[in-house]
Amino acid sequence: MDLRADTREFLVSRRGRITPERAGLPAYGGNRRVPGLRREEVAMLAGVSVDYYTRLERGNLSGVSEEVLEALAEALQLDDAERAHLFDLARAANTSGAARSRARRAAPPVLRPVVQRILDSLEHAPAFVRNGRLDVLGTNLLGRALYAPLFDSPSRTPGRPVNTARFHFLDPDGAAAFWGNRADRMAHDAVAILHAEAGRNPGDRKLMELVGELSTRSEDFRRMWASHDVRFHRSGTKVFHHPAIGLLELDYEALVLPADPGLQLNVYSAVPGSPSADGVALLASWAATTLATPAPTTRAAGRPRRRRARPRPRTEPVQKLAKPATAKNPPERFTGDVWLDPIASPQDAYQRMTVALVRFAPGARTAWHSHARGQTLHVVSGVALVQSRGEAVVEVHPGETVYCPPGEEHWHGATADDFMEHLAMLENTDDPATTTTWLEHVTEAEYAAPPTR
């Protein structure tokens, strides 16, 4: 995550939603160029200079005090989740490089056996444990039954946990059937939870990969992510449209697990005597007959026990995949020297995505081209130049990500003075020949146009 950009866009979006009237200020002049407060108005409300607030809004939170953050949260009328997000952004901005490296190397939290036993002991309430990325790490039997549409969804990737955000945005028909008319609200809440997690853990690579994938594959996700909304997920009521049981209206409580930072236990319950309480009882019966593993039959009395040797299941060890050969891209599609290291490609039967690390020599760039399902670029080193047809050239710095929508004609490459590396991610079409359309080369005049930041 680009911490400065996220900070800048968060503060700008919060400032833009507050009118002078809402802030208790006189609205001078009838033609305001901004939809919300001006910078000088926020600075006045927070008790800081205009220059200092401008510095903060440009994403520079280094050295900011808690008193200033509190004053800023009050001026922008942030709720509890937004205030916590602002403090998380400031904490990340003031974290040392060594601490960030330790955080990136830290093992992700896993579901401990004792937590699974606690889940299993909740026999009359659906429950599950998730992490901040919305991966479902464990459930009890009722929780598995309640979330059956997610476990059976085509959006689920074999070998990876069920992820509620992937279900919302990669299986929209399934999500609409499961959540009913609240599907959009649930999707927005999922994005807000992910945004809050990005503020708490800006170095979480798996979170960045999830956001990159959803940005590439879902226009709704991109739109909601751009709103920079954040929220807590602590308690409330959800309405489910279960395919086997029907309508279930359940209250939930989210319980943070202090020994497992980043994990929380979500427990659902129905109002006693309500139709949903009867539905949960029916769900338990359905789960027992559909999902539960049958218990072994009881041995007849007096019958000697026979021990039967069981063959051990064959398991395959973890295997390191052979590194594909580095390829130099063809001159009809590129200007200058460009090398590509495939990470995942459509030649692999199990891959729907193409992911590659692309290295550009100074001055090298692609030809104009477009992708049928869009493309996400994440700059690793150097400075990338990216231009959409008819728009200005944009500089993209290390750690920043850009998205090129489906069908948009664009080019990207390195500056004239330095090498550049970026990850390129795109979804393949059923016919690989239609995934990318290559056009004419970028002219020297187009390449020499002054970029914007």
Under CATH, which number does the domain 3-94 receive? 1.10.260.40
- Tens digit of each residue's pLDDT (9 = 90 or more) over 380-398: 899 999 999 999 999 999 9
At 246 the pLDDT is 93
Confidence bin at 157 (pLDDT 50/70/90): confident
Q: Is 113-290 assigned to CATH 3.30.450.180?
A: yes
At 298 the pLDDT is 41
At 107 the pLDDT is 64
Average pLDDT, the chain: 87
The residue ranges of every structural domain in the chain are 3-94, 113-290, 327-448
At 25 the pLDDT is 87
Confidence bin at 403 (pLDDT 50/70/90): confident
At 357 the pLDDT is 86
Q: Which CATH superfamily is domain 327-448 in?
A: Jelly Rolls (2.60.120.10)
At 301 the pLDDT is 44
44 or 96: which carries more pLDDT confidence?
44
Confidence bin at 297 (pLDDT 50/70/90): very low
The answer to whether residue 97 scores a pLDDT higher than 70 is: no
Token digits of residue 370? 């477009």
The answer to whether residue 450 scores a pLDDT higher than 60 is: yes
Confidence bin at 295 (pLDDT 50/70/90): very low
